[in-house]
Structure 1
Amino acid sequence: MASRPFTVADVMTKKVVAVLPGADFKELVTTMQRWKVTAVPVVEGEGRVVGVVSEADLLLKEEFHEHRLGLIEQMRRPEATAKAGSRRAEDLMTSPAVTVASDASLPQAARLMATHRVKRLPVVDGHGAIQGIVSRSDLLKVFLRPDDDLAAEVRRDVVERLFPLSRQEVDVRVEAGVVTLSGTVRDSGLIPVAARLAGAVEGVVDVRCGLTVGAE
């Protein structure tokens, strides 16, 4: 039986620091400093995520601190100048928040981060209530899987499924996340498939395929 793909729920941080929409500027700064985070979700009701306040949102106040906001500047950067003059989370936050479901795949989460240029995503349930936070570093946790675990999964889910008759002739080695496949198989058409499936195993860094076709 194939292993279940890793999901956001497997790597997310479940302890979440969040604030209410009415949180003031100083509370936001204090919260980020205390918990050593660079952004906090804004929640209301029973934990429904309505936005995110980041350090970038707060720094706008410092950026515009030493000069008055001119009409042209306000027209060119309306959202930034509005935030610079705000004090509460509901006015400072980016909304709607970019969120991800707990059962989303790690590639899906990575694509969301890249598309929206964010470093972390609130993880929500079907009702939009917060369940955790997933960051870029969380998505990299799969690459900490032991080499022995990766080798066992490649052998079980790739070699034994594709080459049931010649599986004993295939050697699987993993070093620093790099999978090396060697040995002989009966079907040359399955060799590139084996390499592709081995590379799809969560935590695999690269695949070196040295499989060849043996004599019948």
Structure 2
Amino acid sequence: MIARELMTRRFPYVTEDADLDYVAKLLSECDIGVVPVVDEALSPIGIVTRSNLERARAPIRADLGEIPTFLLRNRVKPTFRPGPFSLRDIMTTPAISVPTSAALADIAKVMESHHLKRAPVVDGHKLVGFVLLREVLQAIANGGALPESERPILSIRPREPNFCEVATAEEFRGLVAAHERQLQAERIERRRAIDEMREQRIRDLAAARLTDGQWRDMLANARKAAEAGLAEQLLIRFPSQLCTDGGRAINAPDSHWPETLRGEPADVFRRWRNELHPRGFKIAAQIIDFPQGMPGDAALFLMWGGKA
């Protein structure tokens, strides 16, 4: 068996000016765990593996500390963020290759002598494939065609057990504290994003105006509520921050609460005052929820209760 028969032809490759984030994406998608770096003639000049990329990763923020792998097991993998490095800075060179005609014994000797798990295969100088150590070992185990004197002694050094990289409870407490700091930072970021969305919604509502169609729909819903035996109907619900005082006058209650309304709620109140108040309808404002003990949403209710 020779390299051409054993090699895989499906692999990505890049030139030395490729972006590291692009290389990281290729590595995450390829099966052989390596991306070769080639020149303009497609000759291999280096290789990049995940360990190369780890050396180029931007340093972790000192205030958070490093989060251990077992705490991040179920989290979405973060986007690779390279530090101030280029591909040529971190790739392994030279790229030790074998020709397509290399015999199995020769491939094994090259990989053993250079401690390679993968080796580029070249046709002349052009990269055409990769041979993997595990497949070389499998071919030797299955073939048995080599004389015993020519069979290379290949081995993959087993990793020493590393069940625990820290040795004291204090270090474990440090890992837990780092994890909690990370969670807290994420909670703060989520709250910031929610607050920004809410502020934008309030700005949009403050600029919005009640249309005739919306007013007709409100009155139609009020009529349906009366037909169902009810004495009031919610006209509009809105964040209490839409009020100029954050809803405090409504919550007090203060008779001057209508003066704090903005946007559509202010238009609803004016339509009630001009069209419905002369016909005997009443209106009321109320804070209808209190998230974390603070005024949340407010609402305006149209009321027609009492004797006809």
Question: TM-score w.r.t. structure 1 length?
Answer: 0.52
CA drift at 1:110:
1.6
Say if 2:117 is the partner of 1:119: yes
CA drift at 1:88:
2.8
1:104 pairs, out of 102, 114, 124, with: 102
- For 2:61 and 2:98, the matched residues in 1 are separated by 38
In structure 2, stretches of 5+ residues that fail to align are 63-81, 152-308
SS in 1 for 2:101: coil
- For 2:57 and 2:105, the matched residues in 1 are separated by 36
Matched residue, 1:94 = 92
Whether the aligned pair in 2 keeps the contact of 1:43 and 1:49 (CA below 8 Å) is: yes
Within a 5 Å distance, the mapping from 1:69-84 to structure 2 comes to none
SS in 2 for 1:23: coil
Whether the aligned pair in 2 keeps the contact of 1:86 and 1:92 (CA below 8 Å) is: no
Identity of aligned residues (%): 26
Whether the aligned pair in 2 keeps the contact of 1:24 and 1:87 (CA below 8 Å) is: no
Matched residue, 2:127 = 130
Whether the aligned pair in 2 keeps the contact of 1:48 and 1:130 (CA below 8 Å) is: yes
Say if 2:53 is the partner of 1:55: no
Whether the aligned pair in 1 keeps the contact of 2:17 and 2:87 (CA below 8 Å) is: yes
- For 2:11 and 2:119, the matched residues in 1 are separated by 11
In structure 1, stretches of 5+ residues that fail to align are 1-5, 68-83, 154-195, 203-216
CA drift at 1:38:
1.8
- For 2:60 and 2:122, the matched residues in 1 are separated by 35
Question: Pairwise CA RMSD of aligned residues?
Answer: 2.8
Deviations 1:108-167 (A, max 9, x none): 2122222222210010122x210100001221343446xxxx8xx8xxxxxxxxxxxxxx
Q: Would you tell me which structure has more strand in proportion to its own residues?
A: 1
Whether the aligned pair in 1 keeps the contact of 2:116 and 2:133 (CA below 8 Å) is: no
SS in 2 for 1:91: helix
Q: Which has the larger radius of gyration?
A: 2
Change (3 A) 1:86 1:8: farther
CA drift at 1:36:
3.3
Whether the aligned pair in 1 keeps the contact of 2:56 and 2:90 (CA below 8 Å) is: no
SS in 2 for 1:124: strand
- For 1:123 and 1:54, the matched residues in 2 are separated by 17
Within a 5 Å distance, the mapping from 1:20-35 to structure 2 comes to 20-35=15-30
